[in-house]
Chains A and B, each alone.
Chain A
Amino acid sequence: MVGKSEASKHCIGELCGEITDFSRLPSYGAARPPGLSSIMGGCGIAGCMDLNGGKIRGDKIARMLSIMSERENGLGSGYVAYGLFPDHKDEYCLQFFFDNEESMFAVEECLKKRGEITRDECVYTTNHTDIPLPHPMVWRYFFVPKSSSNPKYKDPDQCIVDLVMNINFSIHGAFCISSGKDMAVFKGNGFSYQIADYYDLSRYKAQMWCSHSRFPTNTPGWWAGAHPISLLDWSVCHNGEITSYGVNRKFVEMNGYKCTLLTDSEVITYTWDILVRKHGLPLQVAAFAMAPMYYRDMELMNDHNRQLAQQLRITYKEAFLNGPFSILVGRSRPEITMLAMADRKKLRPLIIGHNEDDGMIYAASEECAIRIADNDAYTWVTNPGNPMIARVGEGIIRYGTERPFEGAFNEQ
């Protein structure tokens, strides 16, 4: 475990020593900078997981990500770790960026109203960094929502979603960057190696890591806007530009989500949550809805699959992510799972690697990211729009080269 209470005190002391007056902080960490609404660009992604459930130290993923130095320009990078808090597995781990104490108090008040904070701590960050100031305060809460008689909040997940949406939308200077169980996001406005050093990732061990380095094209970086973009236990690392963003945003808004980051990657995260958690679609079926097959090719499917494929396209046409992308999606339930896929024209790179001997699975934008971690892994590329899915304890569920819906349902 990290972030013991002594460390927390020490950490806040340091922060206070550096910037005594919180109110003087420019709105650059959690509060959205004025004029910024959307971030697009070409990026690097990397992920690794131990199919046997063993723990991977954070410096390994940092090494994988940083090697793709041509894919970032220092305006954002981040990591997400799964299987991080075995002692707090049943509590939601909420991590926040705060620009000032007021926003922190406001958030804590809000949390106390909606449930119980079982533990809170400062997330370790180093002072010795060349990431330009200011840096937001990063705080972690383990949280259990109150059971509610309101049928809408019977589901604690929904309670968390609404809480996060409300805080991010309405509390100025506060931003919830991760809100899942047994996982946490570490991100910020710097190069991949700077962010890894800033949070000292080598002190964390996790069963799965996903990561992202950013090359934003037309907007300044922003701490909370860095990837992974996370909600509940979902995390998305996204390389690409969604040309259908206006349509996808409508989809998530119609389903009750507020776009607070206004990046195309944000809508991808929410879309996963809608399709899988709310609508109960299997992962690969949800992936099909986001990167569907051409109608022409559906004609070659059997009746059952064709009807399913057509209805998925019709029903979820607003969830269809058009334009080039490759994404890494992480989830901790029911078991820690990684999904990696590219768009249906395969306009962004994605390589998968697997080492049968030690049960490691890798996914990255470039082969070198896999090679630096493992010289012996077998590598392959997924088919356009076709997801690779791997799960701790179960192994590789899909290689990303199978036919659609293969193995998605009990009987087929």
Chain B
Amino acid sequence: MMSMSSNMINSALAASETVIDATGKDQYGRPIDYKIVNNEIRRAVSEGVKNITLTGVMGQRYIATAVDKKINISINGTPGNNLGAFMDGPFIEVFGNAQDMTGNTMSSGEIIVHGNAWDVTGLSMRGGKIFVKGNTGTRVGIHMKEFGQMSPHIVIGGRAGDYLGEYMAGGVILVLGENIPKQISPVGLSIGSGIHGGRIFIRGKVNANQLGVGAKLETVNDDDLKLINELIKEYESWFGSSSSEGDFVKVVPFSSRPFRGHFDSTPI
């Protein structure tokens, strides 16, 4: 059976701060199981710990899933899939690259990734923010939605792959295209396919043929620029200054009901 390594909890630190060391190995030499790591997080949260540091993380999945307290979690290493899924409140900072499905269906809180975050980042986000310093993969920000005061935001420093903001129903995606040559688009194909709410801002080259079904290009207005500048300021507060060159384009829905004419409801 797997056993928790004795050095996992550094009890020398103050009660409001906990270090969870995930470098242990199981009997087969594999990194310790995510269940052990998440149990420790849950225990620390229930004990009122406000700051949790994870070290030596190596692919453990579901870290901080469904944590609903406003606590700080900093992660050193490579967190696995579904980091911060369903979370409602925590502030997570990742020093490394995140894998797939980061921030899946999260309601509030923030995830700051000092590296890349790959496919399906921010799936179905309802609120909160994700900042990624580097690049992202395919299908980022799919089906983000907003309701009332809740509006999710994703800021990507580098590039995003195909199907960015697919099915998007609300919220904001900002792609800064840092360190990407001007002649290359920082986004892939089928951007905002099926988009029926929300806005995607992209700095750099975007051709109309990169847009998905139901998406259209617009020029940014003053309100948009205000929001963009606020988000860039926040981005810079985490990752340092960004290049401020290049204009933004905006991808928005054609209609809030893009496929209304698709069906025939006649009784047969």
Q: Which residues of A contact B (CB under 8 A)?
A: 63, 66-70, 191, 193, 297, 300, 346, 349, 351, 366-369, 371-372, 379-381, 383-384
Chain A's closest residue to B138 (CB) is A346
For A193, the chain B residues whose CB sits under 8 A away are 28-30
Query: Given A381-B137, A383-B161, A383-B162, A372–B118 Cβ distance below 8 Å?
Result: no
* The one of A68, A300, A381 that contacts B118, using a Cβ cutoff of 8 Å: A381
For B137, the chain A residues whose CB sits under 8 A away are 346, 381
User: Does B162 contact A384, Cβ atoms closer than 8 Å?
Assistant: yes
Interface string of B5-47 (1 = CB under 8 A from A): 0000000000000000000000011110100000000000000
Count of chain B residues near A, Cβ 8 A? 29
**Cα distance A137–B187 in the bound complex, in angstroms:** 52
With A69-B33, A381-B118 given, can you name 13 additional A-B contacts, CB distance below 8 Å?
A66-B29, A67-B30, A69-B30, A346-B137, A346-B161, A346-B162, A349-B118, A351-B118, A366-B80, A367-B59, A371-B58, A381-B138, A384-B161
Question: CB of B151 within 8 A of chain A?
Answer: no
Query: Given A67-B31, A69-B30, A346-B161, A368–B78 Cβ distance below 8 Å?
Result: yes
For B61, the chain A residues whose CB sits under 8 A away are 70
Interface CB pairs A-B, < 8 A, 19 = A67-B59, A69-B30, A70-B81, A193-B28, A346-B119, A346-B162, A366-B59, A366-B81, A366-B99, A367-B78, A367-B99, A371-B77, A371-B78, A371-B97, A372-B31, A379-B97, A383-B162, A384-B161, A384-B162
Interface centre among B59, B119, B137 (most CB of A within 10 A): B59
For B58, the chain A residues whose CB sits under 8 A away are 67, 368, 371-372
User: Does B59 contact A372, Cβ atoms closer than 8 Å?
Assistant: yes
**Cα distance A35–B116 in the bound complex, in angstroms:** 45
**Cα distance A195–B58 in the bound complex, in angstroms:** 22
User: Does B59 contact A368, Cβ atoms closer than 8 Å?
Assistant: yes
**Cα distance A66–B189 in the bound complex, in angstroms:** 34
Q: Which residues of B contact A (CB under 8 A)?
A: 28-31, 33, 58-59, 61, 77-78, 80-81, 96-100, 116, 118-119, 135, 137-139, 161-162, 188-189, 209
**Cα distance A68–B31 in the bound complex, in angstroms:** 10
Chain B's closest residue to A66 (CB) is B30
CB distance from B96 to the nearest CB of A (A): 8
Interface centre among A349, A368, A371, A383 (most CB of B within 10 A): A368
**Cα distance A269–B204 in the bound complex, in angstroms:** 41
In order of increasing CB-CB distance, the 4 nearest A-B pairs are A368-B59, A193-B28, A346-B138, A371-B78
Chain B's closest residue to A194 (CB) is B28
For B118, the chain A residues whose CB sits under 8 A away are 349, 351, 367, 381
For B33, the chain A residues whose CB sits under 8 A away are 69
Chain B's closest residue to A346 (CB) is B138
User: Does A380 contact B135, Cβ atoms closer than 8 Å?
Assistant: yes
**Cα distance A70–B58 in the bound complex, in angstroms:** 13
**Cα distance A297–B162 in the bound complex, in angstroms:** 13
User: Does B100 contact A349, Cβ atoms closer than 8 Å?
Assistant: yes
**Cα distance A371–B80 in the bound complex, in angstroms:** 11
**Cα distance A297–B210 in the bound complex, in angstroms:** 10
User: Does A300 contact B209, Cβ atoms closer than 8 Å?
Assistant: yes
**Cα distance A69–B118 in the bound complex, in angstroms:** 19
**Cα distance A381–B140 in the bound complex, in angstroms:** 13
For A346, the chain B residues whose CB sits under 8 A away are 119, 137-139, 161-162
CB distance from A243 to the nearest CB of B (A): 19
User: Does B30 contact A381, Cβ atoms closer than 8 Å?
Assistant: no
